[in-house]
Amino acid sequence: MKKSRKGLKFLIFFLIIFTLTYLGIYLYAKMSPKLSIKGANGYYLYDSNGDLYTTGSKDWVSLDNISENLIKATISIEDKNFYKHQGFDFLRIVKAMMVNVKNKSNSQGASTITQQLSKNLFLDFDKTWSRKMKEAWITIRLESHYSKDKILEGYLNTINYGGIFGIENAAKYYFGKDSKDLSLAEASILAGIPKNPSKYSPLTNLDKAKERQRIILDSMVKNKYINEVEAVRAYDEKLTFKRDEDSNDLKMMMYYQDAVMSELSNISSIPSSFTQTGGLKIYTNLDVNAQKILESSSNKNITNENIELAGIIMDPRSGKVLALTGGKDYDKSEFNRAIQARRQVGSTIKPFLYYSALENGFTPSTTFTSEKTTFSFSGNKTYTPKNYNDKYADGPISLAAAIAYSDNVYAVKTHLFLGDDALPDILRRVGINNSFSNLPSLALGAEEIDMLSMIGAYGTLANEGYKVKPYFISKVTDMDGNILYEYTPKPESILNKSTVYILNELLTTTYAKEFTSYNSPTCLSILSKMTHKYAVKSGTTNTDNLIFGYNKSLLVGLWTGYDDNKNVDSTDSSNLKNMWVDIMEEYLTGKTDDETWYEKPNNVVGVAIDPISGEVATNSNKAKVLYYIKGTEPTQDKSALDDAIPTIKLEE
C-alpha cells in the first residue's frame, strides 16, 4: 500500500514538474521571434537561361480555398487530435512506444501535423538527436505563434505529394484542377501519398494507392467525417489522372530536380532550415532543350518497356550537367539510377586502361596476340576472358584494333603487363575513388561504379586532360537575392594533353569502317547517322549496357539494364547506341568539326597505318590515320617500328 502511494506521489510530482517545464518553454517560445511559414519549404529552381521551371511551393493557397474533403481526410489519417493538442500528442506517443516495444520495431509513428510541418522547414532529413531537438523547438514555436488553421495551411502547402510539393500543385498535377474542387475520391487518394510518396502515388502503383485510400476513408467514417455510403461511393469512383493524358510533359525532369536537391543538401554554406532564408532561389545548369532531346531520343529508341535507363548530358569544358534522367518515367519509379545506382561498367573502363598504357610507352601500333587465353596465377587460380561472340584474330593485333573491337584478351594482357596498380591509379586520378579489387577482371569493368562518377571521369578525357567536377547548381540565393552559394569551376590538369589527344583519336576507331576485318568495330552500326567526329566507347556485361561518347562540346553517357539484374540482350545494346548518337547529332546541329573536335598538339604526328598490324599501311584502301608522339610513330623501316613499340612478354 505504501509503495502504491509513493508511486502515485512520484507520478503527480513528475506531472507537475513536466507541466511547469512545458509551460515555461511555451512562454519562452511565445516571446521568441515569430517564424515565417508562408513560403517556407519554398525552393524555386531556374534553368540555365534563368527561367523558372519548377518550384516547391508555387501556389500557396489559404485554408478556405482547399477542399474540405482534403482537409478532413488529412486530419483523419495524420492527426485526428490536431485541434486538441499543443503540438505533441503525448497519449499517442505513449501508445506508439508500447506498440513498438511489443512488436520490437519502429513501425508505429506519432508525429503530429505541427511536428511534420516543422520537419518541412528543414532542407534535409537527418535523424540525429540534435535535429530532433530543433524540430521539437520549432514545433513549440509554431504552436505558440500560430492558430491551428494557419499551421494546417502551412502543412498542406509544403507536404510532399510524390515529388510535387503543396496541395495546390498536387491537385493540378494529378487531376488538373484547383485544390478547392477536389472530390472526396480525389482527396482521399491525395491524402494517402505523403506517408510514402513512392509507394502510394496512384501513378506509380494504383493498387497500393487504392489500399491506402480505403484506410483513409475508413478512418473518416470512424471519426464521423463521412458515412459508410459516402465512403463506398468515393472508393468506387473512377478517377481520371491528368498526368496520364499529358504525353508532352517531360517525365524525366524530376530526376534532374532530385539530383539538384541531393547536391543542395551537401552544400555547407546553405542554412539547414528554411526558417533562416524564407525560401531559396536555386539557379541550375538545366538545359531544357537538352532534356527534351534526351527524353525524345529515349522514347524513340528504348522500345523495351521493362528495361530501365540512366543518362547524363554534360558540358565537358565546365562540368555543367545539362540534362539527366535516372529512369524512364519518374511516375513509375523515383529511384535515380544516374546518381544512386552502382553497376558494372564493362568495357567503358578500357579507355582509362589504355591511357595508362600510352603513358607507359604503348602506341596505337603496340601489339598483343588475340586468341583464347587462360591466365594462370599463384594458388592454382586461372582466369579465361572471352571476347564478344568468341571472335579472335588468332594473331597479333594493334592497340587501335583492340579498341575498335573491344578485345578483352588484349585488355587483360595490357592490365597484367602494366601491373595491378596502374588502372586503379588512373581511375583515382580522374575522380573514381572506389576500393578497387586486385583482379584481372578489373580491366573488363567488373567494378561497380555510379554513372555520375563515370561521366566525371570521361569529362577529363573530353576536356583534354583537365578534370572538372560534374555539377548541377551554379548559384543559390535567398528570396531577397543575397548570394548564399556560388560555384566556380576549377579545372585541374591531371592528364597529358598530347596523350589524351592520341586516345581520343583512338576512340574514333570504334566506328571506323577501315577496321572491318575478322571482326567489326563495336559502334559501326551507327556510323551512317554521324555527321560529326566523336570519341566513343560502349560496354556490355550480362546485365548492363553502357555507352560514353564525346567531343569538346558535349559529353553523353547512357546506361540500360534491369533493377533485378536480369540479363540484357544485343537489341538493348543496339537501341542504346542509337539513342546516344541521336542525342549527340540533334544537340550539335549546325556545328562543324572545326568547332567541336580537338586541335592536334605540335608534338603529335599522324600516320596512315594498317589497322590490324599497326604497321605503316601499304594498301590505301585499308589505311587509317592514327596519331603518335613524335619519334614513336611507325615507319617503313621495321627496326624503327620495333624501337617505338615496347617488348611485351606475358606468361600465359
Catalytic residue numbers read: 78, 347
CA distance 351 to 555: 15
Question: How many CB atoms neighbour CB 125 within 10 A?
Answer: 9
Cβ burial, residue 202 (10 Å; 0-12/13-18/19+): buried
Residues whose CB is less than 8 angstroms from the CB of residue 385 and which lie 6 or more positions away in sequence, other chains included? 373, 375, 408, 409, 411, 412, 440, 441, 444
CA distance 478 to 639: 69
CA distance 617 to 623: 6
How many alpha carbons lie under 13 Å from residue 379 in its C-beta half-sphere?
2
Edge-to-edge strand list for the sheet holding 473-478: 52-55, 43-46, 280-284, 473-478, 483-486
C-alpha cell at 357: 598504357
C-alpha cell at 422: 596502374
Report DSSP state, residue 33: P
Q: Containing H/E element for 342? A: strand 342-344
Label each residue of 361-395 as H, E or C: CCCCCCEEEECCCCEEEHHHEEECCCCHHHCCCCE
Cβ burial, residue 371 (10 Å; 0-12/13-18/19+): middle
Instruction: Report the candidate in 43, 34, 83, 86 with the shortest Cα–Cα distance to residue 63.
Output: 83
C-alpha cell at 27: 512562454
C-alpha cell at 402: 583492340
